[in-house]
Amino acid sequence: MPDNAHPHVLSYLSLSVSHPLHLEVARLSAVQINRAHYHGGFLEVIGGVSQELKDFSEALFDKHGRLKYDLINHEYLKGSGVWGREMDNGLLLYIESVMVEASFRNAGLASWMLNKLIQSEHVALSGFMICLPAPIIEPTNEVNFTAQVELVVNFFRKNGYRRIGRTSFFAYTPNTTHPSHNLTASEDPDRRQIESQDLHSVPTQARAARYVVHSIIVASSTQSVSLMDVVSRPYERDPTSVRQRDSSGLSPLHLAALAHSLGAVNALLSLPPEAGVYDDLSSRDNADCDTPLETCEREMRNLRGCRESSKQAWYGYPDDALRVILALRRAAGEEIEESDEEYIKKRKWGCTCGQCIVGWLSLRMKYRLHATAKGLYNIMGIRTPTFINHHSLAPGLYHCCPTLEFIPSHIRPSLYKSFYQAYRLVFIAASRVLEKHGEFCLPTTRAVLETMLLGEVQNYANHWSRGRGEFFFKKGGKVEYALDCVMHAAIDQSPLGNGEFDRLRERDEEWNALPRCVNDLEFEMVRQQIGLDPSQKWGPYVLGEDAES
């Protein structure tokens, strides 16, 4: 049954087993999730349905519905490592519950329902079934709860489900060539759990006395203090204090990394070698199983996610955090030839390939936008609507070309043939900019405008003239309308949409030779960087809707 609010995204499924005398004796409930066309709103859509689905989506996926970075790349949190980028695509089937009446258990009914679901039309070969093994009935105590969870986990493992990273969630795919089918139940890793003490009821002074160095680091974020001095004093009194774990298992070095405090990191690393602080560089004895470096990186991503989920502009990772990462990497023995400033510039916007133009335009994004802009220019040439001399385009003909949906309603009365041809020039200008090298390839509104008006496109568009370009802007046209259209079309054909662009290039040598980067699908960041204000209303516009509304 489709969801009322999101019928094309969510559907609710149920499977039951009936007995002639006892009626329904078993039931399986699941939610089918179609991740197509989220455009960055996966967590908001799924999280708004129920707390259970919110916990599920936030534990495993990012805003695009792609498997979290840590579950693939984190040395420890990836677990067995059998689940990877293949989980970014395809339908998801989240199993909410599997219930069997007590007198009918151990007869194979639960396994029969799972297999029946796998064989149904609701589970494609490229899809994934996901579950959170937990008792249906609340156990009487913690010992019973742990025992019952283990029983449920064993049941799903028996049916081919394997843990996703080190999370509490398990997945199954009907694709028998998938690596998870070669992983035995005994090889499937356990979830890492570290007991943490509840210190909320402990007075602040008592916490400060218990964790002296931690308290100093926290206080240093709001006070101007010399950390070299204040860290060395507690070390002199008690050498173990600089490696003490807090209630979450964080050492002072972990906490300093979490706080992005370069002063605290340097102060701790400057202590005598016998202090043992350098040993904490590789320590994972904490609730998140992170090294200090990973703690810092995780906090950076969390802060970014918070801004993006609240629809706020993101201005890149803080320089202080990147300097902390640099210090930790050097302390761990990495040879980094770049200067501090070069290192920060390359990674300010999250680049992981080291080749993004000024840190934010990945080579795959550049290729994608160039091909999209050029393709739209050609489509506009083929689908030129029929214009009547001295008359604007009739509203009934707007559908002739999809790029017209990105012209606001208040400008459409100016949609004469001359306006349309000038609008088309903006697309080839954007394409021309993206063909350039280095920083000159950034398709900002200014760069595209200059390329269009200064005649750089005349070798590509025989209908170019400076007067035609100026006419477009005089009648209310903006470079932003074309760039908005290019970005929208690129998203639609990317793995965040229908995936058509990538499928057509599966055997394209030039495309496949380009390095992969986390910025390859960061469309919202690129939109902001090229001049599309995230606080403004953009297309496609329905008739009567304006950019300013």
pLDDT tens digit sequence for 162-221: 999 999 999 999 999 999 999 999 999 987 655 444 433 444 555 567 788 888 888 876
Inter-residue contact 93 to 117 (CB < 8 Å): yes
Question: Is there a domain that residue 538 lies in?
Answer: no
Inter-residue contact 217 to 272 (CB < 8 Å): no
Are 387 and 459 within one domain? yes
Which pLDDT does position 8 carry in this prediction?
Answer: 80
Residues facing 32 on adjacent strands: 11, 93
CA distance 114 to 105: 15
CA distance 302 to 281: 21
Question: Is there a domain that residue 189 lies in?
Answer: no
Which pLDDT does position 59 carry in this prediction?
Answer: 92
Which pLDDT does position 200 carry in this prediction?
Answer: 38
Q: What is the largest CA-CA distance in the chain?
A: 90
Inter-residue contact 100 to 155 (CB < 8 Å): no
The answer on pLDDT for 126 being more than 80 is no
Are 445 and 479 within one domain? yes
Cα–Cα distances in angstroms (integers) from residue 337 to residues 325, 426, 468, in the given order = 15, 41, 50
Are 120 and 150 within one domain? yes
- The dihedral of CA 235, 293, 40, 82: what is its sign? negative
Are 509 and 433 within one domain? yes
Residue 274 contacts by C-beta under 8 Å, 6 or more apart in sequence?
Answer: 239
CA distance 549 to 320: 39
Q: Which of 325, 348, 371 is the last residue of a domain?
A: 348
Are 393 and 505 within one domain? yes
pTM here? 0.77
Question: Is there a domain that residue 519 lies in?
Answer: yes
Residue 46 contacts by C-beta under 8 Å, 6 or more apart in sequence?
Answer: 10, 33, 53, 54, 56, 57
Residue 449's domain comprises 363-530
Secondary structure, 3-state, 177-210: CCHHHHCCCCCCCCCCCCCCCCCCCCCHHHHHHH
Burial of 312: CB neighbours in 10 Å, binned 0-12, 13-18, 19+: exposed
pLDDT tens, position by position, 221-248: 655 456 777 788 899 999 999 999 998 8
Task: Please provide residue 13's backbone torsions phi and psi, each rounded to the nearest 5 degrees.
Answer: -120, 150
Inter-residue contact 426 to 482 (CB < 8 Å): yes
Inter-residue contact 9 to 118 (CB < 8 Å): no
Which pLDDT does position 225 carry in this prediction?
Answer: 52
Are 152 and 208 within one domain? no
Task: Please provide residue 447's backbone torsions phi and psi, each rounded to the nearest 5 degrees.
Answer: -65, -40
DSSP H or E stretch at residue 502: helix 500-504
Q: For residue 385, say if its preceding peptide bond is cis, omega within 30 degrees of 0.
A: no
Question: Is there a domain that residue 159 lies in?
Answer: yes
Match 């494609």 to its residue by tokens.
124
Amino acid at 382: I
Are 48 and 143 within one domain? yes
Are 119 and 219 within one domain? no
Which of these, 308, 361, 311, 294, lies nearest to 63 by C-alpha position? Answer: 308
Question: Is there a domain that residue 103 lies in?
Answer: yes
Are 335 and 369 within one domain? no
- Position 392 confidence tier, pLDDT thresholds 50, 70, 90: confident
The SS3 assignment for 26 reads strand
Q: How many domains does the chain have?
A: 3
Cα–Cα distances in angstroms (integers) from residue 46 to residues 34, 91, 170, 498, 501, in the given order = 10, 14, 18, 19, 26
CA distance 519 to 521: 5
247: its two tokens: 């209630």
Question: Is there a domain that residue 353 lies in?
Answer: no
Are 136 and 93 within one domain? yes
Question: Is there a domain that residue 536 lies in?
Answer: no
Which pLDDT does position 14 carry in this prediction?
Answer: 92
Question: Is there a domain that residue 358 lies in?
Answer: no
Which pLDDT does position 103 carry in this prediction?
Answer: 87
Cα 412–chain centre separation: 36
Which pLDDT does position 194 carry in this prediction?
Answer: 52
The answer on pLDDT for 93 being more than 70 is yes
The answer on pLDDT for 413 being more than 90 is no
Which pLDDT does position 38 carry in this prediction?
Answer: 64
CATH number at residue 308: 1.25.40
Secondary structure, 3-state, 68-87: CCHHHHCCCCCCCCCCCHHH
Are 379 and 492 within one domain? yes
Are 146 and 203 within one domain? no
Q: Which of 293, 322, 348 is the last residue of a domain?
A: 348
- Position 549 confidence tier, pLDDT thresholds 50, 70, 90: very low
